[in-house]
């Protein structure tokens, strides 16, 4: 094999790896869009964001291990949101609005029960 053949083989392998990556990303985007299309899927994603501490403060005082763990969990939620914006730029707003409407409805029901 000559240098040109080696170089062409390397370029072909890189092109194939890029093609596979793009196919995987396309499938992941489709999967996320399918999840967001359902009420249950949107509720699950909001629950995931909450479990990951998306809106929580990562600061844990002197406990650096807890802070590192919280930061790691939060980074998962941020990565999912990044992928959501790629798959559907309006998905996060829809998920958030549904979660807020659900919370308001639960608060309203709770207030009615106290009367």
Determine the pLDDT at residue 53. 92
pTM: 0.77
Determine the pLDDT at residue 1. 61
Using 50, 70 and 90 to split pLDDT, how confident is the model at 115?
low
Residue pLDDT, tens place only, 77-89: 999 999 999 999 9
Three-state SS annotation for the chain: CCHHHHHHHHHHHHHHHHHHHHHHHHHHHHHHHHHHCCHHHHHHHHHHHHHCCCCCCCCCCCCHHHHHHHHHHHHHHHHHHHHHHHHCCCHHHHHHHHHHHHHHHHHHHHHHHHC
Give the domain extent around 52: 3-114
Q: How many domains does the chain have?
A: 1
Determine the pLDDT at residue 47. 96
Mean of the per-residue pLDDT values of the chain: 90
């Amino acid at each position: 094999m000559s240098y040109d053949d080696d170089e062409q083989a390397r370029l072909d392998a890189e092109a194939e790896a890029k093609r596979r990556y793009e196919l995987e990303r396309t499938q992941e985007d489709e999967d996320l869009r399918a999840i967001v299309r359902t009420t249950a899927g949107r509720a699950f994603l909001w629950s995931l964001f909450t479990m990951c501490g998306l809106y929580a403060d990562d600061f844990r005082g002197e406990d650096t291990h807890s802070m590192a763990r919280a930061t790691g969990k939060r980074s998962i939620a941020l990565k999912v949101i990044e992928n959501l914006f790629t798959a559907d730029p309006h998905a996060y707003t829809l998920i958030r609005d549904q979660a807020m409407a659900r919370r308001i409805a639960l608060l309203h029901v709770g207030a009615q029960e106290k009367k």
